[in-house]
Amino acid sequence: MPNILIVDLNNFARYPTLAIGSLVAPLRKANFDVKVLSPLTVGARPIEREKKENWSEHVKRRLNFATHPVMQKLHEPLRKTHSRWQSAPHKPTMNMVADWLSENSPDIILLSAYLDHYPSVKEIASLGQQQGIPVLLGGPAFSTEETVKQWLDLEGVVGIFAGEADVVIADLALAAIQGKDLGNIPGMFVRHRPGVKIAKPLQDLDQLLIPDFSDFNWKAYPHRIIPIMTGRGCSWGVCTFCSDVTTSNGRTYRSRSLEVVLNELKVQSERYQSKDFIFLDLKLNSNLEVWRGLIENFQKVVPGGRWIGTVHVGKGENGLDYDTLQAAKDAGLTRISFGMETGSQKLIKRMGKGTTIATNQQFVKDAHKAGLSVRSSMMLGYPGETPDDLMMTREFLDEHLEAFDRVRASRFKAIPGTRFEKLYNHRPSRFKGIDMVEWDHRYARAVYEYEPAITPEYRKAKRDILSLIHRINRKPLRDGAVQFDGLM
């Protein structure tokens, strides 16, 4: 029986890692002996999103979004310094892995990594190489050939799988253990093997096994929250800035059947003795039949259960009318997230969001009226954004101060593989004011400057927005959503 070590490098969540559970299940079905090591068991603190804020959070956000000419020059060096600190290997985790390997000799080490895990992957791969243990790497961010090739120089990594490994992971692991030529496997990148392509998206999601979270220390989490997905990708998938739809499991939209989803809810609730679920779908209302079926049947399979999820507020029939939202609340939905991004219709169109400001406004009002905790993401610094656009965003937030429970603001990121990159490379003049310095494929990001952001008018409007966000985020959550505070 082959022995496999999986190191879960994810410490961003306050619940088990869905990707790890989705790999463990098929490996165990294939009779592999699997051991999972997690940073949370040795004190790595999970990152919390949008907790109730204090003044220091507001100050940090102001610094992060500062666009004064001096700060514009300092921002990239400061970002790199912070990134190096944040992505530095967690010493207790590395010690845990080293100690475990000193007493055990697995046949292979499997790593599912995000791109900022590069230093940790490098260190673990080195440990494996020292003991003659092959390391196989994968993860959702390995979605462009340029990025994969930037990681192939890691000593000890015998291959990088770019694609969805759920149904092939057992074959991949066995081939690596047996020393076979991995370069013949679709989606598997190895050194000095040109012409390899990202594996095609998995089409039949109903064949996926129910994730196995038995290795996770549930006591390390503040609450027992179970992750689940009804589908992969996004049925809209057009937003210019979105990198989620370019990841290995986000390309093209594919849905699971309602029956399979409901069965997983029932099984996982019984397995892990919890009634709280987080849906990790990019757009939970992508398949309206499943969305409505979930609302109609959730309480039948998980009586007394609660759940949260993210939706896309598109034009036309989107399943987000007041009556449906009220029914969802009655079915246990306590918190709903969406991407507002901006209060400017001009920018909404340039972003390719496929919605209108009026539609977003109606959704926020209806969701709040239905008793849901409303959480939104938004973006500052999208190319073409002006002080007038920011004032419209400020007005949107101000009008809905009572309806929003949390708002997460982010700086625009130019990411390789997105529609933005393609549009920019085709015609840079389309995005006036942005000075692209370099594309960094190892970390799938770009260094750029946005000149309009340094004007006093822009900075004043931005400060007003950040103050409104702080006012929103320092509020207590609505009743019923406290269990999910710090998530999404």
Same domain for 180 and 244, yes or no, is no
The model's confidence at residue 68, banded by pLDDT at 50, 70 and 90, is confident
Which whole number is the average pLDDT over 384-407?
A: 96
CATH number, domain with residue 116: 3.40.50.2000
The pLDDT, as a whole number, for residue 488 is 65
The model's confidence at residue 48, banded by pLDDT at 50, 70 and 90, is low
Which has more confidence, 465 or 193? 465
Among residues 165, 162, 95, 161, the alpha carbon closest in space to that of 134 is found at 161
Lowest-confidence region among 181-190, 235-244, 296-305, 347-356: 181-190
Q: Is the pLDDT of residue 72 over 80?
A: no
In a domain, 201, yes or no: no
CATH number, domain with residue 405: 3.80.30.20
In a domain, 197, yes or no: no
Same domain for 67 and 119, yes or no, is no
The model's confidence at residue 260, banded by pLDDT at 50, 70 and 90, is very high
In a domain, 277, yes or no: yes
Same domain for 234 and 116, yes or no, is no
Question: What total of structural domains would you count in the chain?
Answer: 2
DSSP β-bridge partners for residue 107: none
Alpha-carbon distances of 435 from 291, 383, 454, rounded to whole Å: 42, 10, 13
Range of the domain at 338: 56-82+222-484
The pLDDT, as a whole number, for residue 37 is 93
Q: Is the pLDDT of residue 58 over 90?
A: no
Which whole number is the average pLDDT over 391-396?
A: 98
In a domain, 50, yes or no: no
Of 170, 189, 208, at which residue does a domain stop? 189
Same domain for 385 and 359, yes or no, is yes
Q: Is the pLDDT of residue 171 over 70?
A: yes
Same domain for 182 and 243, yes or no, is no
The model's confidence at residue 195, banded by pLDDT at 50, 70 and 90, is low
Same domain for 302 and 249, yes or no, is yes
Which whole number is the average pLDDT over 468-479?
A: 89
Q: Is the pLDDT of residue 12 over 80?
A: no
Which whole number is the average pLDDT over 58-87?
A: 75
Of 189, 213, 239, at which residue does a domain stop? 189
Lowest-confidence region among 185-199, 213-227, 388-402, 466-480: 185-199
Percent of the chain whose pLDDT exceeds 70 = 95
In a domain, 49, yes or no: no
In a domain, 212, yes or no: no
In a domain, 328, yes or no: yes
Q: What is the pTM of this model?
A: 0.94
Q: Is the pLDDT of residue 49 over 70?
A: no
The pLDDT, as a whole number, for residue 97 is 93
The model's confidence at residue 462, banded by pLDDT at 50, 70 and 90, is very high
Same domain for 454 and 316, yes or no, is yes
Same domain for 326 and 364, yes or no, is yes
Lowest-confidence region among 27-36, 45-54, 177-186: 45-54
Same domain for 336 and 449, yes or no, is yes
Same domain for 376 and 286, yes or no, is yes
Same domain for 62 and 102, yes or no, is no
Q: Is the pLDDT of residue 206 over 90?
A: yes
Q: Is the pLDDT of residue 42 over 90?
A: no
Q: Mean pLDDT: which of 163-167, 477-481, 482-486 is highest?
A: 163-167
Of 169, 189, 209, at which residue does a domain stop? 189
Lowest-confidence region among 127-131, 354-358, 437-441: 437-441
Same domain for 27 and 175, yes or no, is yes
In a domain, 215, yes or no: no
Which whole number is the average pLDDT over 53-77?
A: 78
Percent of the chain whose pLDDT exceeds 90 = 64
The pLDDT, as a whole number, for residue 320 is 98
The model's confidence at residue 26, banded by pLDDT at 50, 70 and 90, is very high
The pLDDT, as a whole number, for residue 448 is 83
The pLDDT, as a whole number, for residue 50 is 61
